[in-house]
Structure 1
Amino acid sequence: MLKKITVALLTLGLLACNAEHKATAPVAKKETPLPVKVVVVTMFEIGEDSGDTAGEFQLWNERRKLDQVLPFHGHHDLHYNPESQILGMVTGIGTAKSAASVMALGMDPRFDLSKAYWLVAGISGFDPADASIGSAAWADYVVDGDLAHEIDPREIPEDWPFGYFARDSKGPMDKRPEPSGEVFALNKSLSDWAYGLTKDMKLQDFPGMEPVRALYTETPAAQREPFVLKGDNLAAMTYWHGDLMNDWANRWVDYWTDGEGQFVSSAMEDTGTYQSLLWLSKTGRADVQRLMVLRTASNYTTPPPGMTAVENLLKDNEGYPGLQASLESAYSVGSVVIDELLANWDSYKDAIPRSIN
């Protein structure tokens, strides 16, 4: 009996101690999410984030002083400037990585992205019929180049221009079915506003680009010094090249945008970025209407006269002729828009800027 009483008293004592401990234990403080005004979305970096050969991220990291490095369970750690509240990310190359990275960031409780503007600032191939290397294009549409049916060109009917055609259709350029991820329309008023701020900029013309431009004797736009334009993006996981593929790209963008869009830039990621932001918008964690896509020309999507598609593609693999210029254009053009947003944040926080045209 004495043993039972002793055990009971000890139990009551422990319970009392636990209760007292719980009453006096400090309550964990809930951290306030970091406010973000602009997310700069880049897709790759070549080596280190600073001090070596630059990829898409490095100029932003160095010049915007994104010195606070935040571990991220994605392709690349995040970089943040607490004063400007700019957040820089590197998604990784390809639609799958961009979609996953943007979704992971959007669901990260460390950040308040509800008012953030998203600027995709990346390099790409440009159609020489529209612009020159080093040029920068603001997009109204991003079109997916992967969701489709395909027949090998050696087996297509003789009257088909190519073997690629929309799902739920009967052949190339057949009546367009209802889109289900093949095309996304950006906020045109916002892209027009961004274009209006930057359209008269003089972009840096790097040594060595003029001889490359001069090869494109049949496309005057390709021979111009770099400039800012409006033009839409085709995102496809396959790195394609050549006149025939370029013809397909122009027709594919025209087809999916009902003639409203114009193919200019070829890249791999932007439909994935848009798709994640679209779904994040439904949760209130982000706003896809605040997405801007700026692509700059590191190379052309077709070879110059007298060179085959294979020859030019392999030459591009040795180094893009406009890489340095395209990186500089992405930073300089994108920065004009970011600086305007930051300088007038009280206005733009709650009201998305609109074109005055």
Structure 2
Amino acid sequence: MVNRISVKSTVWAWALTACMAACSTTAIAQDDDRIAHGDGESGAQPVKVMIISMFGPEGQVWLDRLGPWRTIPVAGLSPDYPAVQCNRQDVCVMTTGMGHANAAASTMALTFSSRFDLRHTYFMVAGIAGIDPQQGTVGSAAWADYLVDFGIQWEIDAREIPADWSTGYLGINTKSPTDQPPLDYRTEVFQLNPRLVDAAFALSHQVTLSDDAQAQAARAKFSYAPANRPPSVIRCDTLAGDTWWSGTALGERARQWTKIMTNGKGTYCTTQQEDNATYEALKRAAVDHRVDLQRVAVLRAGSDFDRPYAGQTSADNLLNYASQGGFTIALDNLFLAGNPLVQDIVSHWSEWKDGVPRH
């Protein structure tokens, strides 16, 4: 039960307007017509890197910096984001729409479209998220090894939790909150290619990230690190689910659930809506040999804390998330942390084409 992707309607409306304006005014010259019609097998557009964003501002940070772009409409994408943008370096940006349903539907539409050749494509999911203050801070950018679905659980009314249980959540078809459930849904947990995560982290971990005074004031209210330190590039895992939550007890369950679902190997740090749904869509395309699952990376930047600081209520943390100052810097830091990987792939394509290079 997780989310930090949604923003207030005024911000969302601005994002959509900005994205549509950029898409209509930055078309590449006609002599680069291969972007529209492709020069790969069967006339499909080859893609070196596909950046997957979830809503307008996440995509806009790439559109503002890596153009010019050509717009390629794709049947089945979100009506709010009906096209993919591609540049001359075969880097493309798509926006799925927010939440599990939009992410799965849009990603399936992309991967089964005849417009693209995605067999050698590196996919980078890049979005904002809530963040665990014991692992990062607002503005921190986290590369994930594991994608865990926080929404696929049983839940007991919080007012009726058994006295000997620490939480009202438990895995489906289990007997207690600490049991690992059978993976009946096949989407509960995914592990990403560690070599790709190694490479992404190595390329970006020394990058200087954006910060601002509002975020500094928000993190100063925490008495411990790394919550009260400047943002940095980190490596820890992400939980997906469509319910936006806030709270210390729920945060503890997020940590516990990650350990349960990864056999103790994962470390929870970011909370969002879409990533398991996006990955499942890619997995189905991989069965048809349309994509390579070893080429999927997930980067999430903290836009707000998932729980309150000492003396703050969970309700205040939730209702006033925008006052934490993380939204703008998290967007900037998606680009700052993610672009080194994008540029290394396109600049050294001969090394990356057949898989993640060994170093």
TM-score, normalising length: structure 2: 0.85
Question: Is 1:38–1:87's contact at 8 Å kept on the other side of the alignment?
Answer: yes
Question: Is 1:79–1:88's contact at 8 Å kept on the other side of the alignment?
Answer: yes
Corresponding residue SS for 1:63: coil
For 2:114, the equivalent position in structure 1 comes to 109
Residue 147 of structure 1 deviates from its aligned partner by 1.2
Q: Which of the residues 162, 172, 182 maps onto 2:188? A: 182
Question: Is 2:147–2:237's contact at 8 Å kept on the other side of the alignment?
Answer: yes
1:213-252 superposed matches below 5 A: 213-217=219-223, 219-252=224-257
Larger Rg computed on CA atoms: 1
Provide closer, same or farther for how the CA distance between residues 289 and 84 of structure 1 changes in structure 2, counting only shifts above 3 A.
same
Residue 292 of structure 1 deviates from its aligned partner by 0.2
Question: Is 1:66–1:86's contact at 8 Å kept on the other side of the alignment?
Answer: no
For 2:138, the equivalent position in structure 1 comes to 133
Tell me if 1:119 matches 2:124: yes
Question: Is 2:212–2:325's contact at 8 Å kept on the other side of the alignment?
Answer: no
- Please give the alpha-carbon distance, in whole angstroms, between the structure 2 residues aligned to 1:204 and 1:87: 24
Corresponding residue SS for 2:64: helix
Q: Which of the residues 71, 91, 95 maps onto 1:90? A: 95
Residue 175 of structure 1 deviates from its aligned partner by 4.4
Q: Which of the residues 345, 348, 354 maps onto 2:352? A: 348
Structure 2 counterpart of 1:194, which letter? A
Tell me if 1:301 matches 2:303: no
Residue 341 of structure 1 deviates from its aligned partner by 0.3
- Please give the alpha-carbon distance, in whole angstroms, between the structure 2 residues aligned to 1:85 and 1:148: 40
Tell me if 1:44 matches 2:48: no
- Please give the alpha-carbon distance, in whole angstroms, between the structure 2 residues aligned to 1:320 and 1:96: 28
- Please give the alpha-carbon distance, in whole angstroms, between the structure 1 residues aligned to 2:198 and 2:77: 32
Q: Which of the residues 33, 53, 59 maps onto 2:44? A: 33
Residue 176 of structure 1 deviates from its aligned partner by 4.1
Provide closer, same or farther for how the CA distance between residues 105 and 320 of structure 1 changes in structure 2, counting only shifts above 3 A.
farther
Provide closer, same or farther for how the CA distance between residues 320 and 69 of structure 1 changes in structure 2, counting only shifts above 3 A.
farther
Percent identical pairs in the alignment equals: 36
Give the root-mean-square deviation of aligned CA atoms.
1.5
Tell me if 1:156 matches 2:167: no
- Please give the alpha-carbon distance, in whole angstroms, between the structure 2 residues aligned to 1:175 and 1:341: 38
1:233-275 alpha-carbon deviations (Å, 9 max, x no partner): 0001100111011001000001100000000000000000110
TM-score, normalising length: structure 1: 0.85
Q: Which of the residues 191, 196, 202 maps onto 2:202? A: 196
Give the number of aligned pairs.
Answer: 315
Residue 57 of structure 1 deviates from its aligned partner by 1.0
Residue 181 of structure 1 deviates from its aligned partner by 1.8
Corresponding residue SS for 1:147: coil
- Please give the alpha-carbon distance, in whole angstroms, between the structure 2 residues aligned to 1:212 and 1:306: 13
Question: Is 2:73–2:83's contact at 8 Å kept on the other side of the alignment?
Answer: yes
Question: Is 1:61–1:79's contact at 8 Å kept on the other side of the alignment?
Answer: no
Corresponding residue SS for 1:172: coil
For 1:326, the equivalent position in structure 2 comes to 330
